[in-house]
Amino acid sequence: MTPPRTTAPRTTPPRTATAGPAALGIDIGGTKVAGGVVAADGTIVATARRATPGASVSDTEDAIVAVVDELAAGYDGELIGVGVGAAGWFDRTGDTVLFSPHLAWRNSTLRKDLAARLQRPLWVGNDADAAAWAEYRYGAARGADLALMITLGTGIGGGIVLDGQLRRGSHGVAGEWGHMRVVPDGRLCACGNRGCWEQYASGTALGQTAREVARTSPAAAARLLERVHCEPDRLTGEDVARAAADGDPLALELVTEVGMWLGQGIADLAAVLDPEVVVIGGGVSKLGEMVLGPARDRLDRALPGRGFRPGPRVVAAELGPQAGMVGAADLVRHDLAALRAAPPPGADPLLR
């Protein structure tokens, strides 16, 4: 018997503008440094970008500074500061990038280096944290007392907003949901462990499962193989997503499987954190209800205490790929406001 649906109805408050000057938001990915001038209501009013020279720390910093300089030179109004979000593990202060999977940072003093060059108030941190904050302030998690962000892309990242504050954890690396172990001795993950969640519920997982099926049962995967000239090793998660959108039965089955794994992981997070809302972002989220529907169904079946407790709302992110940029800009504005309201002794004007 299917248990009753336990997810609470969506009650998103309206988006509200806040007075204040604009800030610069920078989102650093494996291929590009994207920046924007972000107004206090979350609107992006100007953008700039550079390629990310990921093999070089100094060249990456040069690209960040170039984007900031270009945006600042082209904007006539006041810019309150710069927020920088990057893929990687940061310490709790945001001073140091402990590790970045796609860039050259290893125990790198990114905040100190950028503060010396930019000479502006600065927030630096994880890009998924910035996206989580953006969705809380302006997007699908507005008004939530406890919101989780899950970014589904090559892997799985995320962030936590609790009682109106971004929570980074004791060591700065909270929200790395993708490395929860869901299958003992399962697929090998880049983190060094086996059976991590992102090996089953991500764009990478979608492509890997498709390749496995295509190698063992090429007849079943015939329509997928047509897309890559019958070379199974060339199949990617993007190929599967496009095929699912076109109605390919196997692709739809694979997307459903990713959704089921997603829902199982959300049920595990709900057992520990009891969030009000879980926001799904990242490239895989573009599949919409094809992946979110199965996720909600699995959550309803796997939620501990189902039928006797509410579960979280599971919703698509509203800000798309610009969430990291918007969130980083708003975080420097938020930190400056807090600093001015209650400045601690010896507060750094180029804040964390």
| CA angle at 71 for the pair 70 and 77, rounded to the nearest 5° | 135
3-class state of residue 313 by DSSP: strand
Of 323, 305, 330, residue with least CA distance to 149: 323
Residue listed under structure tokens 């169904």: 297
Lateral strand order in the sheet of 32-38 = 44-51, 32-38, 22-28, 79-86, 122-126
Determine how many CB atoms are found less than 10 A away from the CB of residue 107. 9
Tokens matching residue 203: 């764009």
- Sequential pLDDT tens for the chain (352 residues): 333 444 443 333 334 344 578 999 999 987 889 999 999 999 999 999 999 887 889 999 999 999 999 999 999 888 999 999 998 889 988 889 998 877 888 999 999 999 999 999 999 999 999 999 999 999 999 999 999 999 998 889 999 999 999 999 999 999 999 999 999 999 999 888 999 999 999 999 999 999 999 999 999 999 999 999 999 999 999 999 999 999 999 999 999 999 999 999 999 999 999 999 999 999 899 999 999 999 999 999 999 999 899 999 999 999 998 999 999 999 999 989 887 777 766 666 555 5
**How confident is the model at residue 102, as a pLDDT?**
73
Lateral strand order in the sheet of 146-152 = 165-167, 156-162, 146-152, 277-281, 313-316
**How confident is the model at residue 261, as a pLDDT?**
97
Tokens matching residue 236: 């990617």
* DSSP, res 196: B
- Cβ–Cβ under 8 Å, residues 233 and 245: no
**How confident is the model at residue 14, as a pLDDT?**
39
**How confident is the model at residue 190, as a pLDDT?**
83
Q: What are phi and psi of 311, to 5 degrees?
A: -105, 175
**How confident is the model at residue 9, as a pLDDT?**
38
Q: What are phi and psi of 58, to 5 degrees?
A: -65, -40
Residue listed under structure tokens 């003093």: 109
> CB within 8 A of 220, min separation 6: which ones?
213, 250
Q: Look at strands 277-281 and 313-316 and give their pairing.
A: parallel
- Cβ–Cβ under 8 Å, residues 70 and 166: no
In which element (H, E) is residue 82 found?
A: strand 79-86
Distance from C-alpha of 167 to C-alpha of 172, rounded to nearest angstrom: 8
**Bridge-partner residues for 222, per DSSP?**
none
Distance from C-alpha of 293 to C-alpha of 282, rounded to nearest angstrom: 16
Q: What are phi and psi of 305, to 5 degrees?
A: 75, 20
**Bridge-partner residues for 124, per DSSP?**
84
Which segments of 121-234 does DSSP mark as H helices, in order?
127-138, 203-216, 222-226
Burial label for 229, CB within 10 Å (0-12, 13-18, 19+), is exposed
Of 264, 274, 286, 115, residue with least CA distance to 198: 264
**How confident is the model at residue 16, as a pLDDT?**
39
Question: Which domains are present in the chain?
Answer: 22-135+321-338 (3.30.420.40), 143-317 (3.30.420.40)
Residue listed under structure tokens 């529907």: 293
